[in-house]
Amino acid sequence: MTRSLDAILTEALKNPEKYDYLVVDSLLDGNEINKIIKAPVVVAIYTGMTAPLPPEILKAYNHEISKQMIPVNKKFNLNMRDYVIMRSSGDIQYKLMLTSKEFHLWGDKLDKSFYFIGPSSIEKRPKDESFSFQKDVNKKLIYISLGTLFNSNLNFFKDCIDAFGNSEEYQVIMSVGKVIDLKKFENVPKNFYIYNYVPQHQVLEIADVFISHGGLNSVNERLILNEKPIIIIPQAGDQFSNAKAISDFEAGISMFKDTINKKKLIDAVNSIIAMRKNIRKEFKKFFRVLKKQEKKEKMYLKVICLIY
């Protein structure tokens, strides 16, 4: 992140234009960057985890980020703070929340500087012709993925094989990310298809069950684009708050990663399949909540976007 920020600021300083707004990701300190690019700061926050934190927690985060930011702070004469502070700081005028207020755990407690503009990146994508998979019409398809950042839990993937391997009822697509070597999976059952990467939007269109880490994009893709419930096994960060929201809305099932075993996985899948029978009727309200955009404003601005 610090290397990216260094490169972006170096490039931005070459541009003499005046900007109307400075739009930053929530992992960056917009107020400090504002000393270089002088414009009102807008923070785009993708996650639901925006709640006041105890001072001792903020201090610990700030101490760690300060060490990492020393080179870029020194070069540009800045004093970068931690992104956790940026999400709840009262001195930022505009904070764009990429979800709906009803889906946010603290939606009613946030001040007027937070604008709920609805989920982002929810769209149909071109088909990836390089990915070929033939679904067995006589079996249910389970898709398992822990996303791109927290997917190194080899034991979890082996638990899934233990639960559904050689099943006559299920096919299973398992995306294990780039960290895990596929050679570590020995004697792969004939009903399992294990990849380092799959085009998730394509797989979700045909999957009967989705077992996910609960990242916001994965949740939205499943619930909004496919209108099907989800099983969430949160690994870190906002995934826990997303899991709670899913449970509160009865739009899926959440499970604790440290208590996963064969029986619990099988029971969860069976529950989701039963839940799907009433989804069109029962989940209409939930879909409206996720799709709702409470604040729509057209702004014709010159914008510099700092993306992590």
Whether 152 maps to a domain, the answer reads yes
Looking at residue 122, its pLDDT comes to: 65
Looking at residue 144, its pLDDT comes to: 95
Whether 233 maps to a domain, the answer reads yes
The total of structural domains in the chain comes to 2
For residue 299, pLDDT over 60 is answered with no
Instruction: Say yes or no: 169 and 269 in one domain.
Output: yes
For residue 82, pLDDT over 60 is answered with no
Instruction: Say yes or no: 146 and 279 in one domain.
Output: yes
47 and 57 Cβ atoms separated by less than 8 Å: no
Instruction: Say yes or no: 146 and 111 in one domain.
Output: no
Instruction: Say yes or no: 89 and 210 in one domain.
Output: no
State whether the Cα torsion 215-220-222-228 is positive or negative: positive
Whether 36 maps to a domain, the answer reads yes
Whether 125 maps to a domain, the answer reads no
Q: What is the band of 47 on the pLDDT scale with cuts at 50, 70, 90?
A: low
State whether the Cα torsion 256-261-262-263 is positive or negative: negative
260 and 159 Cβ atoms separated by less than 8 Å: yes
Q: What is the band of 189 on the pLDDT scale with cuts at 50, 70, 90?
A: very high
Residue with tokens 């299973």: 172
Instruction: Say yes or no: 159 and 267 in one domain.
Output: yes
Chain centroid, CA 143 distance in Å: 17
Instruction: Say yes or no: 284 and 154 in one domain.
Output: yes
For residue 293, pLDDT over 50 is answered with no
Whether 60 maps to a domain, the answer reads yes
Looking at residue 297, its pLDDT comes to: 42
- Structural domain containing residue 265: 140-290
Whether 201 maps to a domain, the answer reads yes
β-bridge partners, 305 = 23
For residue 266, pLDDT over 90 is answered with yes
Question: 51-55, 103-107, 239-243: lowest mean pLDDT where?
Answer: 51-55
Instruction: Say yes or no: 93 and 177 in one domain.
Output: no
Looking at residue 172, its pLDDT comes to: 95
Whether 129 maps to a domain, the answer reads no
Looking at residue 108, its pLDDT comes to: 77
Average pLDDT of the residues in 205-214: 92
β-bridge partners, 25 = 44
Q: What is the band of 44 on the pLDDT scale with cuts at 50, 70, 90?
A: confident
Average pLDDT of the residues in 230-250: 85
Looking at residue 308, its pLDDT comes to: 36
Instruction: Say yes or no: 160 and 285 in one domain.
Output: yes
Instruction: Say yes or no: 84 and 157 in one domain.
Output: no
The H or E element spanning position 20 is none
State the CATH number of the domain containing residue 209.
3.40.50.2000
Average pLDDT of the residues in 248-274: 89
- End-to-end Cα separation, the chain, in angstroms: 7
Instruction: Say yes or no: 195 and 97 in one domain.
Output: no
* ∠ CA 116-120-122, rounded to 5°: 135
Instruction: Say yes or no: 51 and 189 in one domain.
Output: no
Task: Tell me the C-alpha distance between 72 and 66, whole Å.
Answer: 10
Whether 132 maps to a domain, the answer reads no
Instruction: Say yes or no: 252 and 280 in one domain.
Output: yes
For residue 71, pLDDT over 70 is answered with yes
For residue 202, pLDDT over 80 is answered with yes
